[in-house]
Structure 1
Amino acid sequence: MKVISEVMFWISNGLLIPVVVGLLVLFVLSVLQLGGLFGARQRYQRRLKRYGVLMDGLKIQGLAPLTAQLEKANGATPFEQVALQTLKANEAERNYLIGNYELELERRLSQPKILTKFGPILGLMGTLIPMGPALVGLSTGDVGSMAYNMQVAFATTVLGMFASGVGYLALQMLRSYNHRDLVWLDYINDTLSHGSK
């Protein structure tokens, strides 16, 4: 049993470097994600300002003002591309376009999901792995080794929680933006469906 526990100890200690590298990668991704969130918010606000009133007045004004605005934008964003194609498609094609757009939006959430899930996992691993050597240092009276290992443990925890927090924030914000796009596309689709009957 002692041999097995020593092998497990060495294996877990060997995982520390990959865990720390993984946390550093997640930290860089989370910083980039924060910058991307600022841009995503600005794009969403512009889209809301440009199309919110048109969508609210769709029942009264009809599709003509919305079509004119989308043609003027000339597919500058993925939403505008899909919305314009939806206006010109039949019912089956509209459902296909909206379904594909929804899948694409879900695919774009993969990075925030990775940050949210793997941040705490790697943070916890980075916390627990140095605790073994820290306890060994404590038992032998090597306070310097114990302090260093505890420093690594706390640093990895902080990095993991930071990455996870940014990922969760990004996931919630981007999902709400995506939901608004899908509500609008469904509304256009329903309006066209009822108009053709």
Structure 2
Amino acid sequence: MVIPGSEYLGKILHVISQSFLLPVILALIIIVALAFAELGAFAAESRVRKRSRPADLLVMLRNMGKIHSWQLQNLQKVITESSLPSGQKQMLLRMIANADLDSETKRLLAREALDSLEFQGMKTLEKTDLIAKLGPVLGLMGTLIPLGPGLAALGQGNLTSLAQAVIVAFDTTVVGIAAGGIAYLISKVRRRWYEKDLTDLEAILEIILGGEGDAAQESKTVAAGGRRS
């Protein structure tokens, strides 16, 4: 039984679906280009991290642990000479520069700094997360859209049109999955890096804030007639 009007609705759906083919192919080209661009940036970031960060951070934490909190110039020197990213350096130096604030305010500033760093990491991850999700979706759309006309051509015995449709379908599938796989790998590794950065920075801030508390206690002791040991 044929529902009245279904033929026209089917034709409308067919026109709509076929009109998506060119935008999907263009989007896949853009996405795979972005995926390879992110891969290059990821390789450069990985090289920098492997070369300097782990050992240098350990040395930095040890040096900070040996410095009395009231020796702010030495603490600033340790941070400035470290291989931390410039944004994190500026964040820590601002915390040291605000040593005259009360402890609660400084902890609020530290939490705001950590939230800002986390937000920056999320912005960086958003691009590759989006590619990882959209790549396979667009690849699937690029697979299904040309198959309809291809099957219709097969019914008419036109194998050439069928072959062309299948080629387009397979190509879009491969490109979409490849872009999504590359982006997923980058997001996975970067997310681990950024979580470690947050943990390390939180430890450094605790050393700075805790040390400043010790310095305040030392100052009270000296004012009461005591002496530094």
Q: Same fold (TM over 0.5)?
A: yes
| Residue segments in structure 2 that go unaligned for 5+ positions in a row | 1-5, 99-105, 215-229
Does the aligned pair in 1 maintain the 2:64–2:78 contact within 8 Å?
no
Greater mean deviation of Cα atoms: 108-117 or 140-149: 108-117
The answer to whether 1:32 aligns with 2:55 is: no
Aligned length: 196
Return closer, same or farther for 1:66/1:50 CA change in 2, 3 Å cut-off. Answer: farther
In structure 1, C-alpha distance between the alignment counterparts of 2:179 and 2:185, rounded to whole Å: 10
| Other-structure match for 1:52 | 58
Could you tell me which of 80, 94, 98 is aligned with 2:89? 80
Could you tell me which of 169, 191, 205 is aligned with 1:153? 169
Secondary structure of 2:81's counterpart equals: helix
Structure showing greater radius of gyration is: 2
What letter is aligned with 1:110?
Answer: E
| Other-structure match for 1:163 | 179
What do the CA deviations read for 1:111-130 (whole angstroms, capped 9, x no partner)? 11111111011011001101
Does the aligned pair in 2 maintain the 1:75–1:84 contact within 8 Å?
no
Shift of 1:58: 6.2
Does the aligned pair in 2 maintain the 1:82–1:101 contact within 8 Å?
no
Return closer, same or farther for 1:26/1:180 CA change in 2, 3 Å cut-off. Answer: same
Shift of 1:99: 1.0
| Residue segments in structure 1 that go unaligned for 5+ positions in a row | none
Aligned-residue CA RMSD in angstroms?
2.2
What do the CA deviations read for 1:6-59 (whole angstroms, capped 9, x no partner)? 11011101100000000000010011111111111022222223213323x368
Greater mean deviation of Cα atoms: 33-42 or 86-95: 86-95
| Other-structure match for 1:181 | 197
Return closer, same or farther for 1:42/1:78 CA change in 2, 3 Å cut-off. Answer: farther
Secondary structure of 1:141's counterpart equals: coil
TM-score by length of 2: 0.78
Does the aligned pair in 1 maintain the 2:143–2:168 contact within 8 Å?
yes
Shift of 1:188: 1.8
Does the aligned pair in 1 maintain the 2:24–2:142 contact within 8 Å?
yes
